């Protein structure tokens, strides 16, 4: 793993390496303010061409815990606004001594493009590209599931909501199936499901009540209005009635089922506050786990780049 661009095609060994390394960091105090020196003398550039609260901030915390120098490029105030191309921006930042780029971009494939053009020794981590992939989110979700459920080999996981526009769902599905989860369900209206999704090994449900029956994990997704071309924009009330997670619908899952959400949440659209703030929700622990998981990812790619 010299760049992390997607969970698709990543072998189980590498997924487990990230989860195990994150667990080691946690065991050594990474969730406190403990500092490690794994990235001392290295420069991590956070390039968020699209908005973010959780991912950008936890990458910054993770890099600082590893003693890296962290540079958050202010994209709005950068020369991107004057028409500088993505690759020209990258080459200029390389000239400033970048060692690792963390990239979020609205265009699918942006992180791949950068990875193809950076100098040897520089790592690229995809922090979410368009509808394509959000690998560190999926990895922190896998860490969360393993933390609460032990392992993946006996689990039913339901991913619910706007699968069509979701880079998180795609990355979760690839990670779950590789880690041996025997039953991954997707629950969504036909209009919010990509055609051929079954080929990824998932079971499709359009009826949320049917899809939630006896699941161990409910992974909710946001209705991503900003990525819709206008073909299907359900009203909030209509969507919540059919696909909003309420205590009554959650009661169909296993009694010890956990509820995840990558954030940001739309309360009253895909999730009722009674569930989001309830005792089955692990939404804020997911955010905390994201720090150790991102430490693990940056540590591993930097280590592998150094060995090349």
Q: Name the residues that contact ligand CP, by CB under 6 A.
A: 52-55, 128, 137, 262-264
Cβ-proximal residues to 206 (8 Å cutoff; 6+ apart), any chain: 187, 188, 189, 190
Bridge partners (DSSP) of residue 105 are: 129
- Choice between 128 and 244, CB closer to ligand CP: 128
Report whether 99 contacts 42 (CB < 8 A). Answer: yes
CA 88 to chain centre: 27
- Choice between 2 and 245, CB closer to ligand CP: 245
- 156-160 and 123-129: which strand pairing? unpaired
For residue 73, count other CB atoms closer than 10 A to its CB: 16
- Choice between 135 and 262, CB closer to ligand CP: 262
308 is in an annotated binding site: no
294 is in an annotated binding site: no
- Choice between 201 and 285, CB closer to ligand CP: 285
54 is in an annotated binding site: yes
206 is in an annotated binding site: no
* Positive/negative CA dihedral, 171, 177, 180, 184: positive
Q: How far is the CB of 270 from ligand CP (least distance, A)?
A: 14
Q: How far is the CB of 135 from ligand CP (least distance, A)?
A: 11
134 is in an annotated binding site: yes
Angle, in degrees to the nearest 10, between helices 167-178 and 12-27: 100
**Positions at the binding site for L-aspartate:** 82, 167, 222
**Positions at the binding site for carbamoyl phosphate:** 54-55, 104, 134, 137, 263-264
**Positions at the binding site:** 54-55, 82, 104, 134, 137, 167, 222, 263-264
């Amino acid at each position: 793993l010299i760049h992390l661009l997607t969970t698709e095609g990543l072998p189980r060994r590498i997924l487990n390496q990230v989860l195990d390394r994150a667990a080691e960091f946690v065991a050594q105090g990474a969730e406190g303010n403990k500092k490690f020196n794994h990235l001392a003398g290295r420069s991590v550039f956070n390039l968020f061409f699209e908005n973010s609260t959780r991912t950008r901030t936890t990458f910054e915390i993770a890099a600082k815990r590893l003693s890296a120098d962290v540079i958050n490029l202010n994209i709005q105030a950068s020369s991107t606004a004057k028409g500088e191309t993505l690759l020209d921006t990258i080459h200029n930042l390389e000239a400033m001594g970048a060692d690792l780029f963390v990239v979020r971009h609205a265009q699918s494939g942006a992180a791949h493009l950068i990875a193809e053009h950076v100098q040897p020794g520089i790592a690229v981590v995809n922090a979410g590209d368009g509808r394509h992939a959000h690998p560190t989110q999926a990895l922190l979700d896998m860490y969360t599931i393993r933390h609460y459920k032990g392992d993946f080999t006996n689990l039913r996981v339901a991913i619910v909501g706007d699968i069509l526009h979701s880079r998180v769902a795609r990355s979760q599905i690839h990670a779950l199936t590789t880690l041996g989860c025997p039953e991954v369900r997707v629950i969504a209206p036909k209009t919010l499901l990509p055609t051929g999704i079954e080929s990824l090994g998932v079971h499709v449900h359009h009826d949320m009540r049917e899809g939630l029956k006896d699941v161990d994990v409910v992974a909710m997704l946001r209705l991503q209005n900003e990525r819709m071309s206008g073909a299907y924009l359900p009203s909030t009330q209509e969507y919540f009635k059919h696909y909003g997670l309420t205590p009554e619908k959650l009661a169909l899952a296993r009694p010890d089922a956990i509820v995840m959400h990558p954030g940001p949440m739309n309360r009253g659209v895909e999730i009722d506050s009674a569930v989001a703030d309830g005792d089955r929700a692990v939404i804020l622990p997911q955010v905390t786990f994201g720090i150790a998981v991102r430490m693990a990812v940056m540590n591993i790619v930097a280590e592998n780049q150094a060995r090349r």
